[in-house]
Amino acid sequence: MTPVTFLTAIALLPAPTMVIAQDIAPLATGQRVRVTAPSISKVPIVGAFAHMNADTFLVETHGDTSRVPRAAVTRLDVSMGQKSNAGKGALFGGLLGGGIGALALGSSSLCADLGTSGTCALVGAGGGGLAGLLLGVLIGSTSKSDRWGSASVDRLRVSFTPRKHGRFLLATSVSF
């Protein structure tokens, strides 16, 4: 490799590095993110986005700062706000309350003596289901969960690798 070719290759290195650092423009400092990097952590790292440079994400989690190499990141999600779990609470509470009410009233000695255990089970299911639904909505509305949107980790990756006999390999990959 001639010195001119080598110097040209070295001069071009900062340009791809800057492109990589700019490909996730919408991230703001303090924004809640979820970083999936299986080689770093078995569970996703959730915290506030602190900083990003060409090769590292900095995520603040509970007073600690996690450094995550960009090459290790397989998925990056950005919080789109929170949602209430009232619907899930209503569903689970209604089903659980209905089942318990049907069993309790359907197998009671009062209904067995009257010979109307089927009707009692239906009344128990209705009453228990309604009570469970209301309790489930109340509990679910106090619980919030994040809504996540996917962000691009790298639209453009550039690598520059030395090879045998003084040669270099410049490789790029683009994702859509």
Give the domain ranges of the chain: 3-82+145-174, 86-142
pLDDT tens-digit profile of 40-71?
Answer: 889 999 999 888 887 888 899 888 888 988 88
Q: Which fold has domain 3-82+145-174?
A: SH3 type barrels. (2.30.30)
Residue whose token pair is 């999600």: 77
| Lowest mean pLDDT, pick from 19-23, 48-52, 62-66, 144-148 | 19-23
> Strands, E, within 2-125: which ranges?
32-36, 45-52, 56-61, 64-69, 75-84
Pick left, alpha or beta for residue 166 (phi over 0 → left; psi -120 to 50 → alpha; otherwise beta): left
| Three-state secondary structure call for residue 24 | coil
Mean pLDDT of the chain: 77
Which H helix or E strand runs over 152?
none
Residue range 128-139: mean pLDDT, rounded: 90
CA 109 to chain centre: 50
> Strands, E, within 6-138: which ranges?
32-36, 45-52, 56-61, 64-69, 75-84
Higher pLDDT, 150 or 133: 133
Report yes or no: 162 and 31 within 8 Å, Cβ to Cβ: no
Residue whose token pair is 């080689």: 39
> Residue 15 and residue 168: Cα distance in Å, rounded?
17
pLDDT classification of 5: cutoffs 50, 70, 90: low
The amino acid sitting at 91 is L
Residue range 17-42: mean pLDDT, rounded: 70
Given a cut of 70, whether residue 14 has pLDDT beyond it is no
- DSSP 8-class letter at 74: S
pLDDT value for 22: 39
Q: Which tokens belong to 130?
A: 């309604």
pLDDT tens-digit profile of 68-125?
Answer: 888 888 888 888 888 888 889 899 999 999 988 888 887 777 776 666 667 888 888 8
- Taking CA atoms, 11 is separated from 8, 19, 62, 84, in Å, by 5, 15, 41, 52
Percent of all residues in the chain with a pLDDT value above 90, rounded to a whole number: 11
| Lowest mean pLDDT, pick from 9-13, 27-31, 66-70 | 9-13
Q: Which tokens belong to 1?
A: 């490799």
> Residue 50 and residue 118: Cα distance in Å, rounded?
61
Query: Model-level pTM?
Result: 0.53
pLDDT value for 21: 40
